[in-house]
Amino acid sequence: MSANRKTMLTSAIASRAIKDSFVKLNPASMMRNPVMFVVEVGTVVVLLLTLFPRFFGTERDVGFNLAVFLILLFTVLFANFAEALAEGRGKAQADSLKNTKKEVNANKVVGGVVKVVPSADLRKGDVVVVSQGEMMPGDGEVIEGLASVDESAITGESAPVIKEAGGDFSSVTGGTRVVSDKITVRITSDPGESFIDRMISLVEGAKRQKTPNELALNTLLTSLTIIFLVVVVTLGPIAGYLEIDLQVPVLIALLVCLIPTTIGGLLSAIGIAGMDRVTQFNVLAMSGKAVEAAGDINMMILDKTGTITYGNRMASEFVPVGGSDVRTVGEWASISSLNDETPEGRSVLEMMKQQGMTFDASLAAGADFIEFKAETRMSGVDLPDGRKVRKGAVDAVKKWVAAQGGSIPVDLDAAGDSIAREGGTPLAVAVDNRIYGLIYLKDTVKPGMRERFDQLRQMGIKTIMCTGDNPLTAATIAREAGVDDFMAESKPEDKIALIRREQAEGKLVAMTGDGTNDAPALAQADVGLAMNSGTIAAKEAANMVDLDSDPSKIIEVVSIGKQLLMTRGALTTFSIANDIAKYFAIIPAMFILAIPEMSVLNVMGLGSPLSAILSALIFNAIIIPLLIPLAMKGVAYKPMSASKLLSRNIVIYGLGGVIVPFAGIKLIDMVVHLWV
């Protein structure tokens, strides 16, 4: 991962945030945050009282009013700064992504002829050829060939990745560079709709939506603000009836200190920072809701191929059956793979070369190639001499041979089961009515997966592996990877049914996948994490994309989601607890001259009524920037029950929210009292 994505704060980000703090003073922008909008309105009212003292009859209070205005202004600016700072990292990444969008020429295939056209002229469905050293002109899928592609502009990783036709590693992204070989690509997006365009839009915050939890908290904060607003508005007439003179700036100071300005000023920053923290792990979140939901998931469903395993099933051995020999199996397997562009097909030909075996390729001259289909689960060739060669799933080939009137070798099932028990995939090779042997395809579990699944288990998250493999193969891979359960021979509709069944029981489900067949399940899941190496369909269906294509990254996403919820809860507890100290600072100051008996509430021993009010306001303002690092970094996540978490918040942030303001206001008053 590139270093700039890990940087929490730079001078450029801070400078932009300071500028945006003033831009965000626009009332149309402030109205999105009701708490801080009330503070801004109060700031404007006090400013008018300061600028036109004769009109309002406040000549003797100009100094105090000016001090209140400046403190309130900085309160609003600090809140805006927190939000702008959180947005800054996303904007910085967006600027970096925009630099990767260069106008390049594309080798477009038109009527079998290659024409050079600007990439901006490409449309969905166009076919282009991209050779070594050339930039990918747009998003697409490889339809022919194999090449190494440098995706460092997107993922930050310098190591190139292999992109090839067929399978789940065919997706390519505009702005990446081919470093070897040549591939033919079908464009899958129109200009302005590419993956990079979507990333830029998302990280800039244009499509960020408030999560349900954030909306509920906003409703609570708005309700508290309205309640305190009514209290303060009615306090003036009541004080007047008792012949107590309460100036408007004093009432505004009381309102600002009592409403939850701390969490109100930091709420947006917490949510945005949560999404940005996900981005620091090279995961692109389509919405804040996805990040928040990740903090509450109970179950995680993983596709096997390309997610738990590398997904490149390679031929590793030819296994003869029915009295055949290895060379014969290899020859027919190679003939059936001559026009097979899938990784498995190419690996058969590669293994023949590695083992020094040859075959007569001229037999397939003019043959009809039979593509693999999900219905038949076989592929092969129909030779000009009338012979039919097939390779595919063992049970499918057995049915095909039986239909030709052939017999099944007695040792076929045992050989196939042996391969499956070792975690491999057996492909049967047959010519007309005879099965000659098996191709042993191996798929390897990615390193460290067992440890990562242990971590998920400690978080209380159950893991289920879904695969189209037979039960024996699925059980072997599941055991090696360390998942809690598995579903073998699963189809896309089976994955959706499993997710819906768990959701109906009130569980939140996460799904990771990379193939087109995973797209429906990714869309159905509460958290859908698609691998960037996967297909366009998978990435469009998910609400998160892992640019590093590491399925275990869900652990970081879950931790960040839980951290987001914990941070919001902790700072809300701290903010509300703050009001207790502010109450003891301002209420006595307001009435102590008219009602000397209220001095008993001045438990902090503040110097004077004016210094008490100003000290409370100053503390209310400076606590916001002091808490910005916590809002940006988040409260450290530690697995624990809800009751323990509540107790921890009350002890640390509830008690701290009471003690810190008492100490802070007292210290500020010791300085302010000298000036007043």
Q: Flag whether 118 is in a domain.
A: no
Whether residue 528 lies inside any domain: the answer is yes
Residue 317 counted as an annotated binding residue = no
372 is in an annotated binding site: yes
| 377 assigned ligand-binding residue | yes
End-of-domain residue from the set 547, 566, 589: 547
CATH at 476: 3.40.50.1000
Tell me the pLDDT band of 485, cut-offs 50, 70 and 90.
very high
Q: Does residue 106 lie within any of the structural domains?
A: no
User: Does residue 522 lie in a domain region?
Assistant: yes
Q: Angle, to 10 degrees, between the axis of helix 248-258 and the axis of helix 212-241?
A: 150
Determine the pLDDT at residue 6.
Answer: 44
Return the pLDDT at 306.
64
Residue 642 lies in a domain: yes
Q: Are residues 495 and 428 located together in one domain of the fold?
A: no
30-39, 176-185, 270-279, 487-496: least confident range: 270-279
Per residue in 221-248, pLDDT (tens digit) is 889 889 989 988 888 888 888 777 778 8
Q: Looking at this protein, which amino acid is placed at residue 462? A: K
Are residues 146 and 38 both part of a single domain?
Answer: no
Alpha-carbon Rg for the chain in angstroms: 33
**Residues 293, 171 within the same domain:** no
The phi-psi region of residue 244 (left if phi > 0; otherwise alpha if psi is between -120 and 50; otherwise beta) is beta
Strand 299-303 versus strand 462-466 pairing type: parallel
Q: Is the predicted pLDDT of residue 328 greater than 70, yes or no?
A: yes
Is 432 a domain residue?
A: yes
Q: pLDDT value at position 308?
A: 79
Same domain, 348 and 420: yes
Could you tell me the CATH number of the domain that includes residue 414? 3.40.1110.10
What mean pLDDT value characterizes the chain?
Answer: 83
* Burial class for 661, CB neighbours closer than 10 Å (0-12, 13-18, 19+): buried
Q: Measured between alpha carbons, how far is residue 160 from residues 27, 64, 237, 514, 530 in Å?
A: 48, 64, 73, 18, 19
Q: How far apart are CA 109 and CA 31, in angstroms?
A: 53
Looking at per-residue confidence, does 90 or 172 come out higher? 172
Whether the pLDDT of residue 311 is over 70: the answer is no
- Where does a domain end: 387, 409, 437? 437
Shared domain for 478 and 417, answered yes or no, is no
Q: Are residues 254 and 208 in the same domain?
A: yes
Q: What is the pLDDT of residues 514-563, one digit of tens each?
A: 776 778 888 888 888 888 777 777 787 888 888 777 777 778 888 888 88
Q: Are residues 224 and 75 in the same domain?
A: yes
Q: Which has more confidence, 510 or 244? A: 510
Report how far Cα 536 is from the mean position of its chain's Cα atoms.
Answer: 17
Residue 361 assigned ligand-binding role: no
**Residue 100 is assigned to a structural domain of this protein:** no
Say yes or no: 355 and 461 in one domain.
no
Whether 577 and 450 share a structural domain: no
- Among 416, 437, 458, the domain-final residue is 437
Confidence of residue 4 (pLDDT cuts 50, 70, 90): very low
Per residue in 255-266, pLDDT (tens digit) is: 998 888 988 888
Structure tokens at 433: 């009515």
101: pLDDT strictly greater than 70: no
Pair type for strands 544-546 and 527-531: parallel
Please tell me the chain's helix, strand, coil percentages from 3-state DSSP, rounded to the nearest 5: 55, 15, 30
- Cα(673)–Cα(616) distance, integer angstroms: 12
| Confidence bin at 2 (pLDDT 50/70/90) | very low
Range(s) of the domain holding residue 343: 318-437
pTM, two decimals, is 0.64
pLDDT at 290: 79
Are 299 and 337 contained in the same domain?
no
DSSP, collapsed to helix, strand or coil, labels residue 577 as: helix
391 is in an annotated binding site: yes
Four-residue CA torsion sign, 192, 197, 200, 201: positive
Say whether both 299 and 232 belong to one domain.
no
**Number of domains present in the structure of the chain:** 4
Structure tokens at 477: 């891979």
Binding residue per annotation — 518?
A: yes
With cut-offs at 50, 70 and 90, classify the pLDDT of residue 206.
Answer: very low
Q: Point out the residues that are catalytic.
A: 303
Q: Does 60 share its domain with 166?
A: no
Q: Is the pLDDT assigned to residue 461 strictly greater than 60? A: yes
Q: What region does 9 belong to: left with phi over 0, alpha with psi -120 to 50, or beta?
A: beta
Indicate which CATH number applies to the domain containing 173.
2.70.150.10
Per the domain annotation, does 98 fall within a domain? no
- Strand, helix or coil at 172? strand
